[in-house]
Amino acid sequence: MRFFQALFAAILICLVSPAYAASGTGHAGFQRLTTPDGVEVGVWYPSQGEERDIPLGLNRQQVIPGGPVSGERLPLVVMSHGTGGSFAGHADTAVALAKAGFVVAALTHPGDNWKDQSKATEIANRPAALSRLIDFMLGGWSGHSAIDASRIGAFGFSSGGFTVLTAAGGIPDLSLIRAHCAAHPGRFDCQLIAKHPGDAPAKAPKSWPARRDARIKALAVAAPALGFTFADGGLDAVRMPVQLWRADDDKVLPPAEYADAVRDALPSAPEFHTVPHAGHFDFLAPCDGPVSIPALCTSAPGFDRAAFHRSFDADVTAFFTRTLAPAQAATSADQ
């Protein structure tokens, strides 16, 4: 039934919104740029022209570098990567969304990326950076006039999952980190905190700044970090549609304390996906670039990351297509 509802909604969108339908070109333009604040950003969007196969970090992508933006009133999805990552970590998902008619913007988080992790534990900086990315895309990006500001979604992986949940109104209880790390000192987050004892988030219990970026209307969250900090109502304000992904064999952020904890804390049941035999880093784009990092690129024997990403990208695209539908199409679909 869910499949037919999604199919009907997608068809209806194309019928009632010519501008939206025209944006689904099947080709993705790509820009790599730096914001006036000095933040590295990758932008994917519907475009027309000749695609090229280009390397991007650990990956490759088929895009039109610098191509023109096609369409108008396009929905926007902003992306937040995990600790030590970059804007390029989910390029395949970004390309899939762009080919379906979305503008996608992914930032490299300042102080928490593959080059610089000096501020990796200053997690309150992350949602603010995501909101500034939205500001830039709506005002400073050269193609901003093609974006529909009423249709904005956010995608986040690992620490990026925590980022989008807090940007959407989640309030973590950071005091829970102390007991968590006392019980699980080998967890990735606890080891990271141990490397930065001076600015560890556990030192500031209940100090999370109140914020909610009301422009964000839907969330796709994969293997979220610090899920246990949302106990006791921490996600009560997150009332938009949420698609939540769990890697069943996640050894970095075991589901019970992270993805499952987020599912249990959400006020409404999310669209919940479990991925058998997947590890934490299987949510990253399949590696096929000039550099390979075994810890990030190697999946468990028998797990086909490329095949998984074909279905993952399709499901994420279907989710945002449905939840960020133009108002006219969404109203008609509900009747």
Q: Tell me, what's the pLDDT at 57?
A: 85
The C-alpha atoms of residue 315 and residue 221 are separated, in whole angstroms, by: 12
pLDDT of residue 327: 72
Q: What is the per-residue pLDDT for 73?
A: 96
β-sheet bridge partners, residue 103: 76
The rounded distance, in Å, linking the Cα atoms of 79 and 90 is 8
Token digits of residue 258: 């992270």
Inter-residue contact 208 to 171 (CB < 8 Å) = yes
Q: How many helices (H) and strands (E) does the chain have?
A: 11, 10
Phi and psi, residue 271, nearest 5°: -75, 105
Per-domain residue ranges for the chain?
A: 22-334
- Both tokens of 243, joined, read 């698609």
What is the b/e burial string over 290-324, where b = at least 16 CB atoms within 10 angstroms of the residue's CB? eeeeeebbebeeebebeebbeebbebbbbbbbbbb
- 34, 41 Cβ separation under 8 angstroms: yes
Distance between CA 197 and CA 178 in Å, rounded? Answer: 12
pLDDT at 335: 46
Return the closest-CA partner of residue 280 out of 256, 299, 302.
299
Joined tokens for residue 3:
């499949």
Contact 90, 285 (CB under 8 A): yes
Task: Provide the pLDDT for residue 11.
Answer: 35
Instruction: Work out whether the CA dihedral 229, 231, 232, 235 comes out positive or negative.
Output: positive
Burial of 244 (0-12, 13-18, 19+ CB in 10 A): buried
Question: How does strand 52-56 pair with strand 40-46?
Answer: unpaired
Q: How far apart are CA 72 and CA 46, in angstroms?
A: 10
**Nearest Cα to 154, choosing from 86, 232, 93, 112?**
93
Q: What does the alpha-carbon distance between residue 258 and residue 255 come to, in Å, rounded to a whole number?
A: 5
State how far the alpha carbon of 277 is from the alpha carbons of 174, 271, 280, 281, in Å.
30, 20, 10, 12
CB-count burial class (<10 Å; 0-12, 13-18, 19+) for 122: middle
Here the tokens at position 192 are: 């990271």
Running along the chain, 335 residues long, what does each successive block of 10 average in pLDDT?
A: 39 34 71 97 97 91 96 97 96 98 98 93 94 97 97 98 97 93 93 78 60 96 97 94 98 97 98 98 88 88 96 98 79 46
* The pLDDT value given to residue 328: 56
The encoded tokens of residue 168 equal: 């959407």
DSSP structure string for 215-282:
TEEEEEEES-TTGGGGTTTTTTT--S-EEEEEETT-SSS-GGGTHHHHHHHSSS--EEEEETT--GGG
Give the pLDDT of residue 195: 86
Written as six digits, the tokens of 47 are 């475009």
Q: What is the model's pLDDT at position 198?
A: 65
In CATH, the number for domain 22-334 is: 3.40.50.1820
**Residue 112 φ/ψ, nearest 5 degrees:** -145, 75
Looking at the chain, list the stretches that DSSP marks H as alpha helix, in order from N- to C-terminal side: 2-16, 18-23, 91-99, 125-139, 159-167, 176-183, 188-195, 259-265, 294-297, 305-323, 327-334
